[in-house]
Structure 1
Amino acid sequence: MSRSSLGASALATLIATVVCANTASAEDLAAIEAAAKTEGMLTTIALPHDWCGYGGVIESFKKKYPDIKVNELNPDAGSADELEAIRANKDNKGPQAPDVIDVGFSFGPAAKKEGLLQPYKVSTWDSIPENVKDPEGYFYGDYYGVLSFVINKDLVKTAPEDWADLLKPEYANSVALAGDPRASNQAILGVYAAGLSAGATGAEAIGQAGLDYFAKMNKAGNFVPTIGKAGTIAQGATPIVIMWDYNGLSARETLKGNPPVDVVVPKTGVVAGVYVQGISAHAPHPNAAKLWMEHLYSDEGQLGWLNGYCHPIRFNSLAAENKIPKDLLDALPPAAAYEKASFPTVEDQDASKAVVTAKWDAVVGANVK
């Protein structure tokens, strides 16, 4: 069905018939694509181009659907900011209202509970593991990685090997998180990982132990209250940044040896994080949002995450079908680095997040920005 052949009444009927949560069929996809082209825009939020290969993923979507403009909002926003953007724009159909979100695993159930998401099951739904998707289709995992230390080798001569090392005097004024731990899922899990490394058990206790760890780091003068990224690593403002392995590997590639960058997965407290996708319940362009999800969960979209050094959520399915190029596998850290990885449950993440976000200011006292 061409864009020009779709009348107003037909469009209304079409949109009404493609909003169901059942797994999309080929007929559904054709209808969704036609409606999405009529909408003509997709509004995303919090998608830095150097995060998990998003730059390439967005470009491949544009190439596939040139009739749909991609409107990108606030690439440096955290997961909490994404949910706030939906709340703030629920009655606004303008360009500041996001259609889709990409948030940390624990933010998915919270967004569903609050009524911020609408259900939709992509056509590859069955190959997404059950434990990382909402059974009704409100949110679903898309990729994961592990937290690592990303290091400017020009400034840090001896790379830290574990969390305890970061408290040493030699790392004075050197260590940063890649987000604000009061809002960023990546930073919150960084605190969680530190607590796990300290030997704490139970989500709330792990969160508290992580806060105590960062309080020690801040008191020692090692913590830098600046959101770390490739630019701050290169400038020397944050010589060591705690961030996802895929972001660190992407930064290393982007900086091209100027300065040389090392990416170290710690020996203990190895925490894996799953990020989930969802469609706003108030999306101005709901069919473009569905088409975007279909793109992300297609073989092409999933391999796009591997290009960005991420493990796609359909990794096992793609590997079983021999669809993963060897060069993409070889670019990832050795499999041994992931052997001790812990995948916190949504419940654990919720419990630790509540502790970290509520107590960071009182316990650590560093205003990260």
Structure 2
Amino acid sequence: MTVRTCAAIAAALLASAGCGASPTEEAKPLPPVNAKAASMKDGFTTMERLAETAKKEGSLNLIALPRDWVNYGEIIDTFASRYGIKVNELEPAASSQREIDAAAQLKPDAFDLSLDVALDNTAKFAPYKVEGWQDLPDHVKDHNGGWYAGYGGYMSIGYDPRKGAAPASFADLAKPGYTVALAGSPLDTAAAFDGVMAASLHKGSPDVRQGVALFAKLKKAGQLTDAPKASVVVDWDYVNADRAAKDPEAWKVTIPRDAPLGAFYVQAISKDAPHPAAARLWEEFLFSDEGQNLLQKGYARPARGEAMLMKGTLDTEQAAKLPVAPGPPVLLTIPQTDSAKSYLKKEWAEAIG
């Protein structure tokens, strides 16, 4: 239940009981606003005060949020309209590392990052625990509030059913007839890196050499190409599912049973945010039931999803439209990620060209 709803219920109960403050009593003054506080309660007392403070700041700088990525276009427009705040959309196509590298120049208020980049830059974030903090799984949040998962997904195979049967595994991609693409270069793009890592899974454990070997084989056979030319694209399930929803006859999505690689993108507020209250309001909106359901509308899996399902606030109709997951996700550890990235830096160019 939202703070706004709780306040409305409390007001109604007080009115019905006739127990308002007496004329001789003075309302207890609220503490001063602290726009850089580590929680809504500590800095603003109520959501209304947070919204008022953010509206006075007037703007919000967001970076690396493509409007067609997990429904961010609708999310940004809803937030801007709801609170009367201008949203400046900076470098929508930027990578997670670019967000950090450009922060001093572009001055974003908040970040949307891959977990490894967030962990490397925690000192640059302002701790803030959203109202739904307790609903977030412990393994996808910084216990000091520096960063916290907003949404996640599974690495998937999107394919054109008119040009071939559904691949049952990543190994099937080497069969004749498929033309395959990654979502960029695994040296630069998190989605492409995780695509290689999904292809490297064996009994739940990654072996990056296996992933590189598969894509090298595809390259040698002339089957590795760019996304616009491919009959198969290895990408996050929410990207492939969105494409499938727009053209179901020409695109389908599957998550291989033997490679349920998952990952979360995490949120963080910049320590140097020029609009600190607006940044905190943005995170509160994103992690509200409404915000999480809007992310799910973009086929992402909301980080608060399990708790929302238990509370009856998850949009179950939309949840049923997500690609079927073969089981709990395999999440790469930071040592596994670091080791794989080191290997790719040495071997990818030579293997793929």
Shift of 1:165: 1.0
- Higher RCO (CA 8 Å, separation ≥ 6 residues): 1
Shift of 1:304: 0.9
Q: Deviations over 1:33-92 (max 9, x none)?
A: 2332222111212212222222221122122112x1111122222222222222xxx2x4
Shift of 1:308: 1.3
Is residue 212–residue 348 contact of structure 2 (8 Å, CA) maintained in 1?
yes
Is 1:149 equivalent to 2:157 in the alignment? Answer: yes
Shift of 1:267: 2.6
Within 5 A, what are the aligned runs for 1:7-18? Answer: 14=33, 17-18=34-35
TM-score relative to the length of structure 1 = 0.80
Secondary structure class of the residue paired with 2:331: coil
2:134 to 123, 126, 151: 126
Is 1:291 equivalent to 2:281 in the alignment? Answer: yes
Is 1:356 equivalent to 2:344 in the alignment? Answer: yes
Secondary structure class of the residue paired with 1:161: coil
Is 1:247 equivalent to 2:255 in the alignment? Answer: no
Match of 1:220 in 2: 221
Q: Distance in 1 between matches of 2:240 and 2:319?
A: 17
After superposition, the Cα gap between the structure-2 partners of 1:40 and 1:357, relative to the gap in structure 1 and judged at 3 Å, is farther
Within 5 A, what are the aligned runs for 1:173-212? Answer: 174-197=179-202, 201=205, 206-212=207-213
Shift of 1:289: 1.1
Is 1:64 equivalent to 2:75 in the alignment? Answer: no
Matched residue type, 2:187? R
Matched residue type, 1:35? T
Secondary structure class of the residue paired with 1:288: helix
Matched residue type, 2:99? E
Match of 1:81 in 2: 98
Structure 2 stretches of 5 or more lacking a match? 1-31
Is residue 171–residue 214 contact of structure 2 (8 Å, CA) maintained in 1?
no
Is 1:170 equivalent to 2:180 in the alignment? Answer: no
Match of 1:161 in 2: 168
Q: Distance in 1 between matches of 2:315 and 2:108?
A: 34
Which has the greater radius of gyration?
A: 2
Q: How many residues align?
A: 321
Secondary structure class of the residue paired with 2:102: helix
Shift of 1:194: 0.9
Q: Distance in 2 between matches of 1:164 and 1:354?
A: 24
Match of 1:328 in 2: 318
Structure 1 stretches of 5 or more lacking a match? 1-12
In angstroms, what is the RMSD of aligned CA positions? Answer: 2.2
Q: Deviations over 1:236-266 (max 9, x none)?
A: x222111111111111223x34x62111111
After superposition, the Cα gap between the structure-2 partners of 1:75 and 1:35, relative to the gap in structure 1 and judged at 3 Å, is same
Match of 1:10 in 2: none
After superposition, the Cα gap between the structure-2 partners of 1:97 and 1:44, relative to the gap in structure 1 and judged at 3 Å, is same
After superposition, the Cα gap between the structure-2 partners of 1:358 and 1:109, relative to the gap in structure 1 and judged at 3 Å, is farther
Match of 1:339 in 2: 327
1:19 to 21, 28, 36: 36
Is residue 21–residue 136 contact of structure 1 (8 Å, CA) maintained in 2?
no
Q: Distance in 1 between matches of 2:147 and 2:343?
A: 24
Q: Distance in 1 between matches of 2:342 and 2:37?
A: 33
Q: Deviations over 1:243-294 (max 9, x none)?
A: 111111111223x34x621111113222011110111222222221111101
Secondary structure class of the residue paired with 1:272: strand
